[in-house]
Homo-oligomer: A and B are copies of this chain.
Amino acid sequence: MSVSAVGRPTRPENEAAPAGHGHGLTQDEPLIFELGGWDKTGVDLPDEAAPLNDLADLTRNGLRLPGLSEPEAVRHYVRLSQKNHAIDLALYPLGSCTMKHNPRLDEKLARLAGFADLHPLQPIATVQGALELMEALAHWLKTLTGMPAVALSPRAGAHGELCGLLAIRAAHEARGDARKSVLAPTSAHGTNPATAALAGYQVIEIAQTADGRVDLADLAAKLHDDVAAVMVTNPNTCGLFEREVLEVARLTHQAGAYFYCDGANFNAIVGRVRPGDLGVDAMHINLHKTFSTPHGGGGPGAGPVVLSEALAPYAPTPWLTHGPKGFDLTEHPAGEAAASLGRLSAFHGQMGMYVRALAYMMSHGADGLRQVAEDAVLNANYIKARLGGELSLAFPEGPCMHEALFDDDWLAGSGVTTLDFAKALIDEGFHPMTMYFPLVVHGAMLIEPTETEPRRELDRFCDAVLELAAAVRAGDVERFKGAPFRAPLRRLDETLAARKPRLAWTPQP
């Protein structure tokens, strides 16, 4: 037996396990298509062979998909789950993503039959509680943002951006003012330009100052009467508050444009600052960020958009109203809603997310939400302070908001890239930070801890980063180039995946 320096036998740990076995508590797991079960099903159904005469030539020619018994299915997906990192496992410092704790109360309430087992087109009289909940959510969102109106239906942040820009387009069009472009800083999240383009606008980039804010001179220079909107994220994607936001709004309005605020980072200021006080005309709120509906490995989320008086008439249908007979929905652009930009998607939005977000807001209350912002900002500044000495801060001056941004200056010449460094963090038990975003910062590392991290976890994380930083300085390049070593898989070949896309399993020939 060969024993390594720290007394751990090195075998058989560093031998690959025989194919198809587990290792300790981690199980290998093939695809469902490799588990057999082509002719079986894990759902017991009554025997009911209906005659198909009405559908004679309309029926399909078989459907080859495997069915698993419940024990197999449960095991399969539990094993897969073992291969994921999650906020419930450790700090998840993905900047711009606000990976905060997801309360289990919210999950429970969203599953109440009175919410989950409601059809979207039941008679209005039978869904008064659901509309009441939407109304309550709207009230909280409007009050927290200081804005007069809100469109709940957008299904995620990007959908909210679209909603906002389409409202802006409708407002311009209503005045017969067909503007063609949207201004947005280079640091903007990819959805901003993508949405603007989708909404039929040309995207013009605004420069950024050396201290990471919108360059007012450049903005003023580019603002003209063809500009429909200025899109600014605030706090911005560098984790900084746009100090001159009032001026941005003033210039924008002066040019006859609308001020769209990307509210993805609202978590940093909730309860302390109201976007309505900053001259904002439209702002989406990612309920799955600030209001903690779970990210779910990619979604679903919800992206309600608060709107100024000027834009409110153009809000998408359905409109939620309150009359003598209780709550009601105006589902088509007509009457009061005649100017509406129309429908963004079927039905009335992400009810399941509304329940969770409202439960979250009520739990925190006005006092708790203010504390959320304070703790989120404090945690980020703590990380900034603890790491700032070793890593290079993109904007060292002044405090950051909810996230701390580093560049790769400090890695220069080390042979270690931002990507390598991030992957090495996996070996220490943490999810990497957001990398290479925002684009304005070279080799960016954007760290957002959120307010739900205890100090102990922040320290654990900072210790790990500092220890890795020391390894970089010590020239231990292999620790980074080969990383991760301790994850379920080693580094994946993304180029191969893109070169020969295999998007579905196919039987081995």
Contacts and interface: CB of A to CB of B under 8 A. Distances in A.
A180 interface: no
Interface residues of A, number: 70
A365 to B, nearest CB: 10
Contact of A485 (B9, B457, B482): B9
A345 interface: no
Interface stretch (A81-89, A233-241, A323-331): A81-89
Given A6-B15, A430-B22, A484-B24, A454 B71 contact: yes
Nearest to A18: B467
B71 A27 contact: no
Contacts of A62: none
A224 interface: no
Interface in A72-92: 72, 74-75, 78-79, 82-86, 88-90
A497 interface: no
A463 interface: yes
Contact of A427 (B23, B35, B90, B428): B23
A59 interface: no
Given A25-B82, A456-B35, A427 B4 contact: no
A415 B17 CA distance: 23
How many copies of this chain are found per oligomer?
2
A22 to B, nearest CB: 2
Interface in A90-115: 90, 100-101, 103-104
Contacts of A86: 78
Nearest to A483: B12
A452 B44 CA distance: 16
A321 interface: no
Describe A's contact surface by its main secondary structure. loop
Contacts of A27: 89-90, 429
A100 B12 CA distance: 30
A473 interface: no
Nearest to A363: B44
A18 B427 contact: no
A104 B88 CA distance: 22
Interface string A1-35: 10011101111111111101111111110000001
A24 B427 contact: yes
A71 B379 CA distance: 15
A488 interface: yes
Nearest to A91: B75
B8 A478 contact: no
Contact of A454 (B8, B72, B104, B460): B72
Contacts of A460: 20-21
Contacts of A178: none
Nearest to A476: B12
A14 B21 contact: no
A36 interface: yes
A70 interface: yes
A70 B22 contact: no
A357 to B, nearest CB: 17
A251 interface: no
Interface string A461-495: 00110010000000000110010111110000000
5 contacts: A21-B460, A23-B486, A25-B89, A36-B456, A78-B89
Interface of A: 1, 4-6, 8-18, 20-28, 35-36, 44, 69-72, 74-75, 78-79, 82-86, 88-90, 100-101, 103-104, 363, 426-430, 452-454, 456-457, 460, 463-464, 467, 478-479, 482, 484-488
Given A8-B16, A26-B429, 6 more contacts: A1-B482, A13-B485, A18-B463, A25-B487, A71-B100, A78-B88
